[in-house]
Amino acid sequence: MKIRISNDGVKGFFHRVRDHARKLDRGEELAPQMTISFENASDMMRVLSPQRVRVLRIARQGAAPVSTLASDLKRDTRAVSRDVDLLEQFGLLRSRYQSNPGHGKRRIVEPCAAKFEFVATV
């Protein structure tokens, strides 16, 4: 599945719905896709900061503990965890807790899609 992130707002939403309806009327199949829309580019860029995009890129390589993501990104684990929380709220990442023998539990992060497509119109 692909997740498309754009700043086309309500107008773009209705355009996509109309386009999908026309394809379905013609008997075409639609590829599974989720779209997250922002009203403007600045809101989108606030959520998708360069550091959060780096978290997404690393997470796409496969499920990994937050501590590994933080180490790979050379960032504080708590900061990466906060970024993961926000990206989870938008449906871009998901996490689960896994037993870590002798050390309690660890949070494993994985992407919600194989591909992320960012579309920003300024």
Alpha helices in the chain (DSSP H): 9-25, 41-47, 50-59, 66-73, 77-89
Question: Based on the structure, what is the number of domains in the chain?
Answer: 1
Please name the residues in contact with 104: beta carbons below 8 A apart, sequence gap of 6 or more: none
User: Looking at per-residue confidence, does 80 or 100 come out higher?
Assistant: 80
User: What does the pLDDT look like over 41-75, one tens digit per residue?
Assistant: 888 888 999 999 999 999 999 999 999 999 999 99
Q: What is the pLDDT of residue 111?
A: 94
**Of the candidates 115, 5, 119, 120, the residue with the CA atom closest to the CA atom of residue 57:** 115
What angle separates helix 66-73 from helix 50-59, to the nearest 10 degrees? 120
Residue 102: Cβ-neighbour burial (10 angstroms; 0-12, 13-18, 19+): exposed
Both structure tokens of 7 = 């700043």
What is the CATH number for 73?
1.10.10.10
Mean pLDDT of all residues belonging to the chain: 89
- For residue 54, the enclosing domain spans 2-119
